[in-house]
Amino acid sequence: MAGSRTLINVENNLSAATYIFSERTFQSAWSHPDVPVLVFADHSLPGFSVQNHGGPVGSGIPVELLFWGDWWNSADGIARRDLYITRVQALLASDYFSELVQYGIAKPRWRGAKVVTEPEPRSSFNSQGDVQSVPDLIVDLLEDDVFPDPDDEKIAFVVFMAKGFTQSIGANGSHTKDYDYEFPWDKDWFWVAWVRFFGNPGAPGPDEDPESAIRTFSHELVEMLSDPELDGWYTGQPGNGEIGDAAATPGSGQKQTAWVNGALVQAYWSNQYGATVIPIDRDYKARILGTIRLDHRESVKGTYRPDPEDTKLCELLPQCCLEERDYKFTIVKRDETVRLRIETERYRQPQIAWAVEGKPVPADTLLSLDVIAGTFVGHHAKFGPKTVQVTCKLLNNELTLQTIGTEANFDIQVTCAVTDGSIVGNIKTNVIAAPAITVGFVGAELTDDPDYIRQRDACDKALTDMLKKAGLGKSRKAKVGDPVEFGPAILADIPAYARLKQYGLARRAVDLARMAHAFLPTEMATAVTAALVSDVPALQGALARRKTTYYSET
């Protein structure tokens, strides 16, 4: 991307790409956790596996939603019905059912939805006898030819009860089998589940979120598919040992849930994992976005006379000789604030755990950090170890880093772990994004004498012209035994605090150094490289990071 740079920082096997877009904005790469399945650490299954008891399973069958009662045709009912249809279609399009393959069950599919007003629904279930009204409804619909004979098409029927419905049998729903009988011997079995209404005003109990209807739907559907006639996959007794019954924390009964493709679902048992699981979305990701603010600046002025380091190319090119006089420079001491925030996809309730240079930041704190810092002595950059103070403040999952009086340029590594607070249950295998970013602080900035810069620009132009002429008609590849070249790989080590302007100067210097090594004698090329590096603090900072000599002083 034009006008930007990418910094790759590799430490302790952690690769972090930082994209610097301007002097004030930057961001990390996306962190994409490749976790196909949430695995929970506990369960309520009365055993450690489920077994097949010889009965059928519902493999690849269509799902038909039935909204029972006049209320579903009201304005509120239509809105709720549309919500549930959208959620169910999204769920059926997801990977939520992928772990059912181990039980010989292919993914179910959408068939349709209908509102049923006759017969009128019961207003409550107070006994298992009352629940019989649900399969009786299916019998009526089959006999009225609303649906085909179960022998012709096996359908997973799910009945949603209307607003005002109550129950005292302690269930959010259940599934069962029943049959439609045609004399003299045609008994056609069908499978049906019901889901109570969630959200009655003043209803007892804390669980009245309308989304919980889809959670219950997911629970009943996976059990209907794996044990439709109560002789399929379960352990112990089918009443409490089906694959959906396992998905609760022992003791508390807390349901293990997560959001999959926008639908709230409950976990189910997997023999393959030996645990309850939720096959999860595969597009979870997170990254860090950063902005830089200058809080305070203070100027310190000085003068200098050119020294040998400034005039290394004078003998090579007359244009590189500097006037012997005093030059002015200004060092600007800067205090900066960096604001970091997290951008996520798929996380419904992102929970962030920040760390700076490997130190956790759970609350506002002041950190002392050991860094390789760049400072200035006169108008020359110097580098070495330094301990700096960084103030860390947390607000609404955002991290603010502030420096005061460091008078140094340095980089720090910031990492975070992103989890989803909407996942309920004791997680063994979680969906954790771990974006990382390199933050560069500029605590000291050099402004050199305009006359000095003018003369250095003239030197660069003369050097460029000389190298172009030296390279006319020539082509040279590095050979074994050649001296180490100041190659483009050094650009990857330029500190983040160099940002864009210094990075541009560094790229130009590297290009000229490569040309020098390609077309000039080794000793002359080495002198050219040394002179180029001495004028670009960003390159000196890169060398300090590598702690390796890339050129020889003359």
Residue 552, pLDDT score: 33
Tell me, yes or no, whether 159 and 235 share the same domain: yes
Peptide bond preceding 350: is omega within 30 degrees of 0, i.e. cis? no
pLDDT of residue 370: 96
Torsion, CA 211, CA 216, CA 219, CA 221, rounded to 10: -100
Q: What is the pLDDT of residues 368-399, one digit of tens each?
A: 999 999 999 988 899 999 999 999 999 998 99
Q: Where are the alpha helices (DSSP H) in 471-519?
A: 501-519
Do 249 and 307 lie in one domain? The reply is no
Q: What is the pLDDT of residue 9?
A: 66
In a domain, 83, yes or no: yes
What residue spans of 23-132 are helical by DSSP H? 75-92, 128-131
Residue 396 sits in the same domain as residue 462: no
Residues 462-488 have a mean pLDDT of 64
Q: Is residue 96 in a domain?
A: yes
The tokens describing 235, both together, are 């352990």
490 alpha carbon, distance to own chain's centre: 30
Q: Is residue 365 part of a domain?
A: yes
Element (H, E) at 260: strand 257-260
pLDDT of residue 238: 85
Q: Is the pLDDT of residue 97 over 80?
A: yes
pLDDT tens, 215-264? 999 999 999 999 999 999 999 888 889 999 999 999 888 999 999 999 99
With H, G, I as helix, E, B as strand and everything else as coil, classify residue 239.
coil
Residues 208 and 306 in one domain: no
Spatial neighbors of 14 by CB under 8 A, at least 6 apart, are: 415, 436
Q: Are residues 259 and 144 in the same domain?
A: yes
**Residue 393 to residues 126, 421, 433, Cα–Cα distance (Å):** 55, 22, 22
Q: With DSSP H G I counted as helix, E B as strand and the rest as coil, what are the percentages for the chain, rounded to 5?
A: 25, 35, 40
Task: Work out the percent of the chain whose per-residue pLDDT is above 70.
Answer: 92
Q: What's the rounded mean pLDDT across residues 429-442? A: 96
Residue 473: per-residue pLDDT: 56
| Bridge partners (DSSP) listed for residue 186 | 182
Domain boundary, last residue among 397, 430, 445:
445
Q: Is 13 or 235 the better-scoring residue by pLDDT?
A: 235
**What are the tens digits of pLDDT across the range 273-319?**
999 999 999 999 999 999 999 999 999 999 999 988 888 888 889 99
The pLDDT assigned to 504 comes to 86
Q: Which among 445, 478, 512 is the end of a domain?
A: 445
| 193 touches 174 (CB < 8 A) | yes
Give the model's pLDDT for residue 4.
Answer: 84
Over range 3-27, report the average pLDDT.
76
Average pLDDT, stretch 147-154?
94
Taking alpha carbons only, the member of 523, 527, 522 closest to residue 463 is 527
Residue 17, helix vs strand vs coil = strand
Is residue 148 located within the same domain as residue 253?
yes
Co-location of 50 and 22 in the same domain? no
The structure's pTM equals 0.86
pLDDT at 474: 58
**In whole angstroms, what is the distance from residue 310 CA to residue 201 CA?**
81
Decide if 186 is inside a domain.
yes
CATH number at residue 166: 3.40.390
Residues 359 and 381 in one domain: yes
What total of structural domains would you count in the chain? 3
Q: What is the mean pLDDT of the chain?
A: 90
Q: Which residue has the higher pLDDT, 484 or 423?
A: 423
Residues 236 and 354 in one domain: no
Together in a domain, 516 and 465: yes
> How confident is the model at residue 13, as a pLDDT?
40
pLDDT at residue 484, as a whole number: 42
Taken in order 280, 246, 221, 214, the sign of the CA dihedral is: negative
Q: DSSP for 419-467, please give it.
A: EETT-BS-EEE---B--EEEEEEE-EEEEE-HHHHHHHHHHHHHHHHHH
Asked whether residue 551 is assigned to any structural domain, the reply reads no
The secondary structure of residue 99, as a DSSP letter, is G
Q: What is the DSSP string of 327-393?
A: EEEEEEEEEEEEEEEEEEES-SSEEEEEEETTEEESSSEEEEEEEEEEEEETTEEEEEEEEEEEEEE
Q: Which residues of 113-128 are buried (b: 16+ CB within 10 A; e: fewer)?
A: bebbeeeebbeebeee
Model confidence pLDDT, tens digit, residues 304-363? 999 888 888 888 899 999 999 999 999 999 999 999 999 999 999 999 999 999 999 999
Q: Does 430 share its domain with 516?
A: no
Residue after which a domain boundary falls, among 382, 415, 445: 445
With beta carbons less than 8 A apart as the criterion, state whether 255 and 40 touch. Answer: no
Q: Is the dihedral of CA 218, 219, 225, 226 positive or negative?
A: positive
> Are 28 and 66 contained in the same domain?
no
Q: Confidence class of residue 519 from pLDDT cuts 50, 70 and 90?
A: confident
pLDDT of the residue at 477: 52
470, part of any domain: yes
- Examine the pLDDT at 407 and tell me if it is beyond 90: yes
Strands 398-402 and 380-395, by their bridges, are: antiparallel
pLDDT band per the 50, 70, 90 thresholds, residue 147: very high
Look at residue 552 and tell me if it is in a domain.
no
Q: Is residue 553 part of a domain?
A: no
156's tokens: 């997973």
- The range of the structural domain enclosing residue 390 comes to 5-32+284-445
